[in-house]
Amino acid sequence: MAARDNIHSRVVFWLKIVLPLLALVILSTLFLFSRRIDTDAALPYAEVDVEDLARNQRLTAPEYSGVTTDGAAIMIRAGVARPGAGGDAATAEAVSATIETPAGLRITLDAGQGALDDAAGRLILAGGVEIVTSSGYRVTAPRLDGALDRTELHSGGAVRAEAPFGAIDAGGLQIRHEDAGIPAYLMVFSDGVKLIYQPPRKDP
C-alpha cells in the first residue's frame, strides 16, 4: 500500500513539472508561426469627393405624382434628378412618366432627359421621347412639352407614329382633354400629315 502511494506521489510530482513546460512550448509555437500583421498596409476607404457631392446635388430614383384638373393621375420617375439653381427647373435623366385618365386611357412616356418646373406646372422631355398609348399608338418625337395640372402634351418637332391602322408622319402632335364635361381625349397630328394605311390582316 505504501509503495502504491509512493508511485502516485511521484507521478503527481512529475506532472506538476511537465504540464507547465508543455504549455509554454505550445504558446511559444503559436507565437512563432502566427501570421505577421502588416502595419504599413493602408486601410481600405471609399474614394468620395465631398466637394463634388456638395456642388452637384442629386437625387437617386426620385418620384413625382399628382392629379390633373380633368382627373388624370400622373406619375413621373427618373434615374437621377438634380435641383435647379436660382429658381430654374429641376433636371433629370432616364425619365419615365405615366398618365392614366378617368376614361381608361393609359399614356406612357420615356425620354433620356427631362426638366420639371413645378412652379410653372410644366414637364419638358428631350433626348428621344417615346410615347405609347393603351389605344395602340407608339410615337417617337425629339421633344415633348407637357402640363402638370391638366392632360396636355405638345411635341417639339416632327413625329412618327405606328397606329393600329398604319404609320403616320407629321410635323407636330398634340394630346389633350377636349371637354371638361366629357371624359374624352384627343390625339391630333398636324403640320403636313402623311398617312400610310395598312388594312388589318384577315385570317385565311
Look at residues 124, 119, 132, 180 and name the one whose alpha carbon lies nearest to residue 157: 124
**Three-class SS of residue 24?**
helix
Q: Are residues 5 and 63 both part of a single domain?
A: no
Q: Are residues 7 and 70 both part of a single domain?
A: no
Pairing outcome for strands 90-100 and 106-117: antiparallel
Range of the domain at 188: 57-197
Residue 48 located in a structural domain: no
pLDDT band of residue 191 (cuts 50, 70, 90) is: very high
**Three-class SS of residue 119?**
coil
Q: Are residues 78 and 162 both part of a single domain?
A: yes
Residue 137 located in a structural domain: yes
- Say which CATH number the domain at 100 has: 2.60.450.10
Look at residues 114, 106, 190, 99 and name the one whose alpha carbon lies nearest to residue 145: 114
Residue 188 located in a structural domain: yes
Q: Are residues 31 and 67 both part of a single domain?
A: no
Q: Are residues 72 and 19 both part of a single domain?
A: no
Q: What is the pLDDT of residue 120?
A: 87
Beta-carbon contacts of 190 under 8 Å, excluding residues fewer than 6 positions away, are: 170, 171, 172, 173, 174
Determine how many CB atoms are found less than 10 A away from the CB of residue 147.
17
Q: Are residues 113 and 188 both part of a single domain?
A: yes
Q: Are residues 65 and 166 both part of a single domain?
A: yes
Look at residues 66, 173, 58 and name the one whose alpha carbon lies nearest to residue 125: 173
Residue 182 located in a structural domain: yes
pLDDT band of residue 198 (cuts 50, 70, 90) is: confident
Q: What is the pLDDT of residue 3?
A: 55
Is the pLDDT at 184 greater than 70? The verdict is yes
Reported as a single tens digit per residue, the pLDDT across 130-183 is 999 999 999 999 999 999 999 999 998 999 999 999 999 999 999 998 776 666
Q: What is the pLDDT of residue 25?
A: 60
* Alpha carbons 84 and 96: distance in angstroms, whole number: 19
Helix, strand and coil percent figures for the chain, each rounded to 5: 20, 50, 35
Reported as a single tens digit per residue, the pLDDT across 9-67 is 666 666 667 666 666 666 666 555 545 555 555 555 555 555 554 556 778 888 989 99
**Number of domains composing the chain:** 2
